């Protein structure tokens, strides 16, 4: 069965819940999916590639694109640090005959759902507990204590959005979360029924 490529699946979660791991798994498994690359204004990290990980643009360029209504969603996450999804990115993927998978923050996910309604499935990836999530963030060793505190405050707020999404995947056992994510994608994009 041909996938309905005019559809999108949005994975959202607080940082550290595992949404990126699930999205990468789905992209490896399904050739009818393509990843929506977000635009951002933060500094590029050494391992990142412009146009693959993100579209890295200046705050001035980002604001000009906001003015020109080029984003389907965007947010100023921290002062002068913007993230968003360009309309041209959605067009690029749909024009290639593929369905879209997103890995974005909760506010962006809410905004995409409002815009694309029934063509969009939103999946909230939930950690087994708040404590486990904090532990995962600490174990990354990528943050200063100050930036970790800021991130934890944001995580608490993001966890309260859970009921705003179509479905929830609890990422306790990764293999189980991967299977649940596969079922959701196959059901939504391919129209396959759920199998227990």
> Domains, the chain, ranges and CATH?
8-190 (3.40.50.300)
Task: Give residue 118's pLDDT band: very low, low, confident or very high (50, 70, 90).
Answer: very high
DSSP 135: H
Question: Strand (E) positions, 37-145?
Answer: 39-40, 55-56, 71-78, 81-86, 99-104, 120-126
pLDDT in tens, 56-103: 999 999 999 999 999 999 999 878 899 999 999 999 999 999 999 999
Please give the Cα distance from 120 to 101 (Å, whole number).
Answer: 10
pLDDT, one tens digit per residue, over 131-184 is 888 887 788 777 778 877 877 887 788 888 889 999 999 999 999 999 999 999
What distance in Å separates the CA atoms of residue 146 and residue 129, rounded to the nearest whole number? 22
Q: Are strands 99-104 and 120-126 parallel, antiparallel or unpaired?
A: unpaired
Burial degree of 42 (CB within 10 A; 0-12, 13-18, 19+):
middle
Six token digits for residue 102: 């997103």
CB-neighbour burial class of residue 95 (10 A; exposed 0-12, middle 13-18, buried 19+): exposed
Please enumerate in sequence order all residues whose Cβ is within 8 A of that of 170, keeping only pairs 6 or more positions apart, or say none. Answer: 126, 127, 128, 177
Q: What is the dihedral of CA 40, 23, 90, 99, to 10 degrees?
A: 170
């Amino acid at each position: 069965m041909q996938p309905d490529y005019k559809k999108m699946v949005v994975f959202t979660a607080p940082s550290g819940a595992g949404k990126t791991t699930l999205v990468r798994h789905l992209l490896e498994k399904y050739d009818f999916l393509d990843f929506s690359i977000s635009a951002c204004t933060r500094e590029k990290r050494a391992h990142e590639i412009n146009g693959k990980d993100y579209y890295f643009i200046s705050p001035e360029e980002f604001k000009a694109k906001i003015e020109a209504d080029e984003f389907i969603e965007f947010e100023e996450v921290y002062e002068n640090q913007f993230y968003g999804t360009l309309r041209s990115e959605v067009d690029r993927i749909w024009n290639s005959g593929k369905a879209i998978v997103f890995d974005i923050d909760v506010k962006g996910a809410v905004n995409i759902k409002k815009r694309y309604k029934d063509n969009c499935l939103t999946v909230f990836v939930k950690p087994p507990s708040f404590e486990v999530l904090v532990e995962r963030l600490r174990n990354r060793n990528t943050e200063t204590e100050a930036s970790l505190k800021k991130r934890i405050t944001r995580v608490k707020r993001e966890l309260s959005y859970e009921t705003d999404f179509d479905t929830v995947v609890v990422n306790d056992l990764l293999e189980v979360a991967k299977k649940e994510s596969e079922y959701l994608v196959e059901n939504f994009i391919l129209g396959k029924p759920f199998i227990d």
